[in-house]
Structure 1
Amino acid sequence: MHQLDQTQLQLIRDYQPKERVQQTLMKAAVTLILRDTKHGTEVLLMQRAFHPKDPWSGQMSFPGGKIETTDESSRAAAEREAFEEVGAKLNDQDYVGRLDDLYGLKVNDVFSVHIACFVYKVSRDLELVANEEVADMVWLPFQFLNDRKNAHDFVHPSEPSLAMPAVMINAQKSQILWGLSLRMLSNLHVVLNQPMAVLSKQEHAQLREIEKRELSEKVLEKIQQELDDGN
């Protein structure tokens, strides 16, 4: 069992995140919501609803989404989206800190998405209610990420030639943790000075280098369609 203590939480509070400003196709913000249970510290993940027009259909992610012009800040956007998607009411007492901003892969030399990532730790039961964008929710124990047996061979769904580090959560439900969400958890473990043993050193290095890869025109079309649909 692994449970984050106050010293580790202070590492997150004290961390000075790398905020990035390069142009991207979309700007978004997400929440990493933590809680303590008898299984140790867990993090909330959601599985996006399955939809043929959604390029991220069925994928595992953290509550969050696109930053709107009406949002006061990227953190406000993350909290708004968390409430809209899973009913999580977050407040200042829950807030721990911010991780490094991340970019998605490049398409035509432009990053697909800019993600701001905010960490929260709740000491109460959240009354979670998924909206129509969410197929399922999972509280994933940190100890799950320290078991090499949970690693998974995976290729990018839109780019079959691109192998990606991944973690299998539930094969029957096609719940695979990969991409930006896995990179966020890897970054969190770096801040905590903890290994995330589910991945090898080579796979961690691959995650750090992923922004240098570029996707095809097909992916750009899917992302642009998502933006046009207003999702």
Structure 2
Amino acid sequence: MSQFELDCTSISRILADKGHQLPEPVEYPDGYFNAPPEPASVLIPLFRDIDGWRVLYIRRAEHERDRHSGQVAFPGGKLDAIDRDAHAAALREAQEEIGLDPAHVSILGNLKSYRTISNYLVTPVVAEINWPVPLVPDSREVSRVFSIPVAWLADPANHQVSWRTLRKGDAGVQVIHFQRYEGELLWGITAKLTVSLFNLIGLLADRK
């Protein structure tokens, strides 16, 4: 599949057949967490603009006690009691955070749930946005909404893999960093999920 010719019907079919395969879970050391993970979900929004396909991201607002403050992310958050499933949670969070009307969103499928270093079990929900749509970010949670072209993200020259040590003596975990795009730094779980999706649908050669 060419990175310039995304076919959302094909993506939906691939996710139904193989979405449970990626991303691979991080092998955290025994005893690293002292509680079960909290369920959460994020929306990975794809849309077609005049210059081709893009992926929508947010930059989180700055909060002193938020360990992910100011980072690039996907819209999303913890599952609430009102959410019937991960899809509902991702759509609700996207509406709350950036004003994305669920009526303009078509769910394509899921990637495999991923346990984060902050002890969330995140289900990545892949979707297509019927672009253009009005977006109204909640300034309490989001400082910026922006997008990056799929063609740029799918170029292996634009990201690199490094290793992070969790604690002294622990084995390292893989961390992906993209080059800055318009000043924004895409890394961590958001970069991991982006690369995992592109690997799964054949846009990017797997780099381990």
Range into which the TM-score falls when normalised by the shorter chain? 0.7 to 0.9
The CA deviation at 1:46 is 0.3
Which residue in the other structure is 1:58 paired with? Answer: 70
Q: Does structure 1 residue 112 correspond to structure 2 residue 124?
A: no
**TM-score normalised over the length of structure 2:** 0.77
CA shift in 2, pair 1:183/1:163, >3 Å: closer
What is the match of residue 179 of structure 1? 188
Query: Alignment partner of 1:176: what SS?
Result: coil
2:133 match: secondary structure: coil
SS at match of 1:31: strand
Write the mapping of 1:63-212 to structure 2, written as runs, cut at 5 A. Answer: 63-91=75-103, 94-105=106-117, 112-131=119-138, 132-151=140-159, 164-170=175-181, 172=183, 175-195=184-204, 204-205=207-208
- Please state how far the C-alpha of 1:192 moved relative to its aligned partner: 0.8
Residues 24 and 11 (structure 1), Cα distance of their counterparts in 2 relative to 1, 3 Å cut: same
Structure 2 CA distance for aligned equivalents of residues 191 and 169 of structure 1: 24
Is the CA contact 1:3–1:36 (under 8 Å) kept in the aligned structure 2?
no
SS of residue matched to 1:77: helix
Q: What amino acid is aligned across from residue 147 of structure 1 in structure 2?
A: D
| Pair 1:8 & 2:19 matched | no
Partner SS for 2:180: strand
- The one-letter amino acid of 1:135's match is S
Structure 1: stretches of 5+ with no match in the other structure: 106-110, 206-231
Aligned equivalents of 1:164 and 1:93: distance in 2? 30
RMSD across aligned positions (CA)? 3.1
Deviations 1:114-158 (A, max 9, x none): 0011111123322111002101111111111133453368786x9
SS in 1 for 2:178: strand
TM-fit CA distance, 1:18: 2.8
CA distance in 2, matches of 1:104, 1:76: 20
Question: In structure 2, what is the Cα distance between the partners aligned to 1:194 and 1:91?
Answer: 28
C-alpha contact 2:57 2:145 (8 A) present in aligned 1: yes
Counterpart residue identity of residue 103, structure 1 = R
Q: How much has 1:71 moved relative to structure 2? A: 1.4
Structure 1 stretches (4+) deviating beyond 6 angstroms?
153-156, 158-163
CA distance in structure 1 between the aligned counterparts of 2:193 and 2:11, rounded to whole angstroms: 16
Aligned residue pairs total: 190
Determine the C-alpha separation between the residues in 2 that align with 1:124 and 1:29: 22
* Percent identity (aligned): 25
SS in 2 for 1:124: coil
Rounded to whole Å, the distance in 2 between the matches of 1:171 and 1:36 is 19
Q: How high is the TM-score relative to the length of structure 1?
A: 0.70
150 and 128 in structure 1: CA distance in 2 versus 1, 3 angstrom threshold: same
How far 1:52 sits from its partner (Å)?
Answer: 1.3
Once the two structures are superposed, residues 18-53 of structure 1 have per-residue CA deviations (whole angstroms, 9 ceiling, x without a partner) of 399xx7332211111111123221111000011111
**Could you tell me how far 1:8 is from its partner in structure 2?**
3.1
DSSP 3-state at the match of 1:188: helix
Letter in 1 for 2:188: G
